A and B are shown apart, each in its own frame.
Chain A
Amino acid sequence: MDVVTVDHLSKSFGDLRVLTDISFSVHQGEVLAIIGPSGSGKSTLLRAVTHLETASSGSISICGTRILDRGVYADKATLRSALLKLGLVFQDFNLFPHFSVLRNITEAQVRVLGRGKAEAREVALALLEKMGLTGKAGAYPCELSGGQKQRVSIARALALDPQVLFFDEPTSALDPELTGEILKVMRALAAEKMTMVVVTHEMGFAREVADRAMLMDGGVIVEEGPARELIDNPRNERTRAFLRRFSQNGPT
């Protein structure tokens, strides 16, 4: 089953067209990497699917619920319950600084899902253990390293049991030595067959962990295919140019 289906999605900021006729789907249990140069529309695409940006036209379905139908959004209640099936991990974490690590993870469980406090706490502590953050429940975000913050934010998203987890350049705000701990967590999630869509500049990670990859440039999908194949033997000239530039200048 497809967890997310996007059809002919377009998005403009005023006169500036940032996404043009994007169509793709995310299959249950797969990891989809979205790669491409800066300003190519990768993040905007993620933000449009998670409804942080409003699309100008096209359709989006989440777990069979149509939230955007040819440019028209579904009613508030439908939209809200469908969007709860998506989780999003931000580049700069966006943890709530006034809440402890534990409360960052429990608050939405209690307020949004209506879980009991004790259950929410159990879920949170189990997730913290999984993220290698046992003992950090009582800490505040300002006391954590970037890598720890990002792991808390992954736990916060997972606590709501999303059907698919989106990552918007999850390691771009981190020092190279902290990048590894996030990629390790994401690898573990991939091994558990968590459905994930990852906007990333980590080509090595995309090639190794993602099942499929999509290259975007200038607001369109240039090439799409099995990750390893797309990165090792790109067919499209633009993909080749991007990867060439990348292996020359970018991180590997």
Chain B
Amino acid sequence: MSGKPLQLSRRALIGGLASSEGLLLSGCADQQPPTYGNLLRMGDNLTYGAQRALFSPTALAREYDR
């Protein structure tokens, strides 16, 4: 056991994620959560769809110092 705790930075994860990205994306395509006829859920799906259509799927939230 090394003394250094396991630390994965987000940047380090990108490489690992990139390899599985194709798999994940193909699984997520055209998948919308069920609405059960609920108007609010339909609105949510509209928002989900618009976000996926308009914004980059690889954009990362800003990082902050502690």
Q: Do A and B come from one complex?
A: no
What residues make up the interface of B, taking CB atoms closer than 8 Å to A?
Answer: none
